[in-house]
Structure 1
Amino acid sequence: MTELSWHKSSYSGGNGGDCVEVAEGATTAVRDTQNRDLGHLMFPGSEWTALLGTVRAAEL
């Protein structure tokens, strides 16, 4: 398995509290920075794109 390259989500708060990290590629992995040892969720790229589109549309 390829090692994931994690980065803090741009949707996470900037104060260091509730943070989500993502590793994007053909599939996208999502994890809680305060509970990394509990694992992560994986989403197909098309589902991740649809989720972000929905979140962005709701912000308007």
Structure 2
Amino acid sequence: MSTPELPQPAWRKSSHSGGDEGNCVEIADLNNRIGIRDRKNPAAGHVTLTRQNFTSLVAHLASQP
């Protein structure tokens, strides 16, 4: 019996990432979780957060000067 192949996540560049200066992150909807990875090095893996923790992270970052 073979294991069905999981669909590849649709990674997208964050709208808050800069232009071409190399400080870009990508995010992907991983069903009940959100993945975050370095756009320059996607093979390095990603961080996975719950949707609630992702929302808290974004709120915290938005509150920083």
TM (normalized to structure 1)? 0.80
2:23 to 9, 18, 41: 18
1:47 aligns with 2:41: no
Which structure shows the bigger proportion of residues in helix conformation? 1
Inter-partner Cα distance in structure 2 for 1:15 and 1:35: 15
Moved over 2 A (4+): none
Task: Give the letter aligned to residue 14 of structure 2.
Answer: S
- Letter in structure 1 aligned against 2:36: V
> Which residue of structure 1 aligns with residue 10 of structure 2?
5
For structure 2, list consecutive stretches of 5 or more residues without a partner in the other structure.
Answer: 1-5
Two-structure CA RMSD over aligned residues (Å): 1.6
Aligned mates of 2:40, 2:54 — CA distance in 1: 22
Larger radius of gyration: 2
Which amino acid is 2:48 matched to?
Answer: M
Sequence identity percentage: 32
Structure 1: tracts of 5 or more residues without a match? none
